[in-house]
Amino acid sequence: MYAEFEENYGLINHAMQIYDRAVKDIQDPDCKFECFNLHLAKTTQYFGLMSARQLFERAFGLLSGANLIQAGLRFAKLERKLGEIERARNIYVHLSQFCNPNSQVNQTKIFWSIWEKFEVHFGDQDSYTDLLRTKRSVELRYSSVVENFAMRDE
């Protein structure tokens, strides 16, 4: 309500600072993501898409789990729309470390599918090979984590 008051009767910059502080301070992941989306919408409305980039970049340090993956996919989509194919590819590479390819979580399956379609459309043989190499690397890292937990239980 405070940010809305600032939007209507005060300064937009003050409202943006309030939204920013709320995203940092909220502990509940779902509320944090909802607040992030509101902050993103207001930033885009008042300052344009280029300012949204900075907010997406900060989201990597603030969000976690499925919310991080969803925000990252939106960020990559924004970069594709802006014609920044290499930036979008780098976002996919960064997000891959949070997505176990063997997981049955729907968000993870969607991530790998989207990245593969991206490489088929925008990439070449080398970039597609890099995708497969990254996927195998992430699979190995997650499988070694599972093995370490299994050894610890014995």
pLDDT for 72 beyond 70: yes
Cβ within 8 Å of residue 117, ≥6 positions away: none
pLDDT for 68 beyond 70: yes
Residue range 93-129, pLDDT digits in tens:
999 999 998 887 788 889 999 999 999 999 999 999 9
* pLDDT at 147 (0 to 100): 52
Residues above pLDDT 70, as percent of the chain: 94
Of 111, 102, 108, nearest in space to 136 by CA: 102
Residue, of 31 and 148, whose pLDDT is higher: 31
- Separation of alpha carbons 16 and 5, rounded Å: 12
* pLDDT at 154 (0 to 100): 52
Phi, psi of 27 (to 5 degrees): -95, -35
Residue, of 33 and 9, whose pLDDT is higher: 33
Within the chain, what is the greatest distance between any pair of CA atoms? 63
Residue range 74-95, pLDDT digits in tens:
999 999 999 999 999 999 999 9
Q: Domain limits of the chain? A: 1-63, 84-154
Q: Give the pair of three-digit tokens for residue 1.
A: 């309500």
pLDDT for 2 beyond 80: no
* pLDDT at 76 (0 to 100): 97
